Amino acid sequence: MRRSIIWKFFAVCISLTLVTVFALNFFASLKLRRDFESKISERLRTNAILVGHILREQLHGGEPSVIQEKVKSLADELGLRITVIDPKGMVLGDSETEPWEMENHSDRTEVIKAMKDGFGQSTRPSETLGYNMKYVAVRVSDNGNLLGVVRFAMPLSEVQLEMQVIYRTVLFGAAVALVIALTISYFLSKSMTSPIREMKEIAQRLAEGDFSRKVRIKNKDELGELAKFLNTMADELQAKMENLKRLDRVRTDFVANVSHELKTPLTLIKGYIETLEDKAINDTKNAGKFISIIKDHTDRLSNIIDDLLSLSELELSKDSIEKSEFDLKSLIDDIALGFGHALAAKQQKLTIEPQGDNFKIKADRDKIEQVFVNLIDNAVKYTNDGGRIEICLVQQNGGIVFTVEDNGIGIPREDLDRVFERFYRVDKARSRQLGGTGLGLGIAKHIVLAHKGEIRIESDVNRGTKFFVTLPKA
Ligand SMILES: Nc1ncnc2c1ncn2[C@@H]1O[C@H](COP(=O)(O)OP(=O)(O)OP(=O)(O)O)[C@@H](O)[C@H]1O
Ligand SMILES: [Mg+2]
């Protein structure tokens, strides 16, 4: 059977409380009983001393009947049994019985002790009365001469009756303490265990993949810390799950995209070949046109495959970039020359603005060239005729930052995060028409990351786009 932690905790509290209350009860009763008994002895003793004083004259050789009379009236007033015994043990007066009917008392423990030490007490059954009594005896003397012993007695049943009142009071106190302790321990167990229960519930939800709920425990103790860890763990798990899902999506998209990108040119190529087969091959004018279209598509296929290969190569061997020292500025100048024709065709103007003069960098020259080519190619492609492209070079924090800025069509805010994904194109039709497959920025990003650099983008629709690339010097 599964038992809740609250009951375990509660059981421990109850056991502790019970043990404590019973121990307290036991010792308190013991102590109270002793106190009570000694108080009774003390009372009897004082009374006996007083009676001794009162009877002193008679004990000097007075009339025994006077002693008996006085003893009776004093006992009546005090409500206790009084016995007066002479030094030889003979009973001179007794409030309960006639003295001559009583045997010699010199052998009674309390009497022997009183004669010797001045005070004695004992508890035993009374031979005269037949039930348990508490006896207290004191010596009466005059200038050291023993005159006799005054003895007080009290039925033990009376003592016990009073003791019972004490026991009952103590027991009542214990019961009250027990109830209070139980109530407190119940609420304490609850308050201790409710955070544990809450965390258990949330951990269960986590296990089922529900990350929506958080533990709301603000305790400043270990439980609070545990709650914090649980929440952090939930956040991390959630992030990891989302990332996994995203990766999965990217992968599926990727496969679909690759197939699509390869299939389109292949379908077209097949179509043209079939047309050629159906006689068009004899139509010299059109045949040449078809063949050159087939060639274009074949080039395109081969470009896509090259891009895919370099992407997967980058992914597989991030560390295998071959670094050499070269000047970034002169690399850019060379690339710009290569774009001369494309720029002229769209009447676009490219400016290069180095701020400073030392742009030496240790990196993989071919790959960095690929980054520039991709960025400048995009700027040219996605900027209208007569547009402006600006490249800036700055040294910063021991690295080099370069920017490629255009005043072209821009990228909508919601697409900004995704343009680095493989095959992602903002306007698919337009980009494909321009010969793009959506791999350029993915490749650029991988290259920059492999160099432990950073790439980021700022863009406004219809205003233009600016790419920032930071590369460490070595
Ligand atoms: N300078 C830019 N201005 C506006 N849009 C841009 C710019 N650069 C990239 N884009 C958008 O980002 C998309 C992804 O760019 P990327 O370079 O990865 O692919 P592509 O240019 O379409 O194809 P590829 O570079 O593989 O030939 C582009 O299709 C385009 O929509
Ligand atoms: Mg591109």
Q: Is 409 in the pocket of ligand 1 (CB under 6 A)?
A: yes
Q: Is 374 in the pocket of ligand 1 (CB under 6 A)?
A: yes
Residue 72 lies in a domain: yes
Residue 392 lies in a domain: yes
State residue 1's pLDDT score.
45
Domain of 383? 321-472
Residue 196 lies in a domain: no
State residue 178's pLDDT score.
86
pLDDT digits (tens, 9 = 90+) for 75-124: 999 888 999 999 999 999 999 888 888 889 989 999 999 999 999 999 88
Q: Is 403 in the pocket of ligand 1 (CB under 6 A)?
A: no
Residue 277 lies in a domain: no
Query: Has residue 129 got a pLDDT over 80?
Result: no
Q: Is 193 in the pocket of ligand 1 (CB under 6 A)?
A: no
Domain closes at, from 113, 138, 162:
162
**Mean model confidence pLDDT for the chain:** 88
The rounded Å distance from CA 409 to ligand 1 centre is 11
Distances, alpha carbon 281 to alpha carbons 267, 272, 274, 293, in Å: 19, 10, 10, 14
Per-residue confidence at 245, pLDDT binned at 50, 70, 90? Answer: very high
User: Which residue has the CA at smallest separation from atom 17 of ligand 1?
Assistant: 440
* Lowest mean pLDDT across 281-290, 310-319, 444-453: 310-319
For residue 443, give the ligand 1 atom closest to its CA.
Answer: 18
Q: Is 378 in the pocket of ligand 1 (CB under 6 A)?
A: yes
State residue 127's pLDDT score.
77
| 305, 383, 390, 431, best to mutate for ligand 1 pocket (most atoms within 8 Å of CB) | 431
Residue 262 lies in a domain: no
Domain closes at, from 162, 184, 205:
162
Residue 98 lies in a domain: yes
The rounded Å distance from CA 408 to ligand 2 centre is 14
The rounded Å distance from CA 474 to ligand 2 centre is 27
State residue 35's pLDDT score.
87
Please give the full DSSP string across 412-466, using - where no structure is assigned: -GGGGGGTTSTT--SSHHHHHHTT--S-HHHHHHHHHHHTT-EEEEEEETTTEEE
Per-residue confidence at 3, pLDDT binned at 50, 70, 90? Answer: low
The rounded Å distance from CA 435 to ligand 1 centre is 10
Residue 305 lies in a domain: no
CATH number of the domain encompassing residue 361: 3.30.565.10
pLDDT digits (tens, 9 = 90+) for 379-404: 999 999 999 999 999 998 889 999 99
Number of domains in the chain: 2
User: 0.75 cut: is pTM over it?
Assistant: no
Q: Is 425 in the pocket of ligand 1 (CB under 6 A)?
A: yes
Ligand nearest to the CA of 412: 1
Residue 384 lies in a domain: yes
The mean pLDDT value for 159-180 works out to 85
The mean pLDDT value for 396-413 works out to 94
pLDDT digits (tens, 9 = 90+) for 186-221: 888 888 788 888 888 988 998 898 888 888 877 788
The rounded Å distance from CA 427 to ligand 1 centre is 9
CATH number of the domain encompassing residue 72: 3.30.450.20
For residue 441, give the ligand 1 atom closest to its CA.
Answer: 18
The rounded Å distance from CA 125 to ligand 2 centre is 119
Domain closes at, from 144, 162, 180:
162
